[in-house]
């Protein structure tokens, strides 16, 4: 294990605190069961040192996820600091960070409705203004991949690169979301489950009405560049 550079210690500790707090949002929004799911955040390197990532340890209860319990890894997935094994999805998160330099946070959940769409291998069509706002179009499906190496990460990158969507439904597995930081990725995970549930219910009543692409573009631009506090 390589020690964390002194120049990065403060940033790593702050990331530990953010990531621990954000993990509490997953059960609060009913996005996970038992110990499933994970949140990570990139810690940018300084003074010639490489980026790191902070993520939850594998198989640990959400009630026990304090800042001290978080583990720190290099972007090849190697453990840098922590006394527990990293999440089994660490290789996927690390691959995303290596290949998508603008991504600062990654989240994986097994939220019920989004995972149901993933089990069918079906993208969620853009039929809600909320989807235009947050996702800029439909929620795409990524390829089937086995947990344990960076296959899932490759599928995430291949599917999301060049798209506006911060969410992908990995076939037969579940959703992954990305963001400029971990909080943004958690927000995307929460909104993904909301739209997955709503579109599913809509389809029980009839055929949802698609939103024309030009209107999706306008929704996305307004939400990303005008909405909220600047």
Give the per-residue SS3 of the chain: CCCCCHHHHHHHHHHHHHHHHHHCHHHHCCCCCCCCCEEEEEECCCCCCCCEEEECECCCCHHHCCHHHCEEEECCCCEEECCCCECCCHHHHHHHHHHCCCCCEEEECCCHHHHHHHHHCCCECCCCHHHHHHHCCCECEECCCCECECHHHHHHHHHHCCCCCCEEEECCCEEEEEECCHHHHHHHHHHHHHHHHHHHHHHHHCCCCCCCHHHHHHHHHHHHHCCCCC
Residues known to be catalytic: 133, 227
């Amino acid at each position: 294990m390589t020690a964390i550079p002194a120049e990065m210690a403060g940033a790593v500790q702050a990331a530990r605190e953010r990531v621990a707090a954000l993990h509490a949002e997953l059960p609060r929004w009913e996005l996970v069961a038992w110990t499933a799911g994970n949140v990570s955040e990139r810690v940018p390197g300084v003074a010639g040192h490489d980026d790191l990532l902070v993520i939850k340890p594998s198989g640990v209860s959400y009630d026990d996820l304090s800042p001290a319990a978080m583990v720190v890894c290099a972007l090849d997935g190697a453990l840098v600091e922590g006394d527990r094994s990293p999440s089994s999805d660490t290789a996927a998160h690390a691959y995303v960070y290596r290949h998508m330099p603008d991504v600062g946070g990654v989240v994986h959940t097994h939220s019920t409705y989004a995972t149901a769409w993933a089990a069918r291998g079906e993208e969620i069509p853009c039929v809600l203004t909320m989807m235009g706002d947050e996702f800029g179009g439909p929620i795409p499906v990524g390829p089937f991949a086995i947990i344990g190496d960076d296959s899932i990460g490759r599928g995430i990158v291949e599917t999301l690169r060049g798209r506006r969507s911060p969410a992908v439904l990995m076939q037969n597995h579940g959703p992954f979301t990305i963001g400029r930081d971990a909080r943004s990725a958690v927000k995307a995970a929460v909104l993904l489950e909301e739209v997955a549930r709503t579109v599913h219910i809509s389809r029980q009543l009839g055929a949802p009405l698609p939103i024309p692409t030009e209107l999706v573009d306008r929704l996305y631009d307004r939400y990303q560049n005008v909405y909220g506090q600047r």
